[in-house]
Amino acid sequence: MKTLIAAAVITIGLAGTAGAHEPYGEKPLDANTAQTFQSSAAGVRSEMRPGGRYAFVNPAERARIDAALTDIDKVYAEHGGLDGQDAKVRVYNDQELVNAILERRDERTICSNQVATGSLVRVTKCAAYAHEFGTRDASLRD
């Protein structure tokens, strides 16, 4: 009995560490230092191009993201770092704005639970955000 309990504890412990290397919870923009900001801002800008992870950011949100990235860049250029409390607050607020917008427009999966036509059985259909809104935009243009 004790070996069964020990085996269960070890199995649960190993299952918990198996997914530890997944990037769950990572934010798209990291502005803690000037170097990390430059690299992550370049990545965000490249992913907002057509075909990128954030290609479905609408123009108003894209303008807000560009303004926030420019403001963070300006803070690092003026102060050379995050010296004062005002600079930290500006960078933090701009970083959170960018991350909030990008997390809504990434490659997430949208699932819906629907009843199939002519049936009483519910069916779960899942599709990527880009596929759903790309199809919707194409149907609106036609």
DSSP 105-127: SSS-EEEEEEEPTT-S-EEEEEE
Which tokens hold the place of 95? 């970083």
Other beta carbons within 10 Å of 38: 14
Do residues 121 and 115 lie in contact, with contact meaning Cβ atoms separated by under 8 Å?
yes
Residues 99 and 32 reside in one and the same domain: yes
The pLDDT assigned to 20 comes to 43
The pLDDT assigned to 21 comes to 37
Kindly state whether residue 15 falls inside one of the protein's structural domains: no
Prediction pTM value: 0.63
The 10s digit of each residue's pLDDT in 66-124 is 999 999 999 988 877 778 888 889 999 999 999 988 887 766 677 888 888 888 888 88
Q: Which domain holds residue 134?
A: 109-141
DSSP SS3 for 134? helix
Residues 124 and 86 reside in one and the same domain: no
DSSP SS3 for 50? coil
Q: What percent of the chain has pLDDT over 90?
A: 21
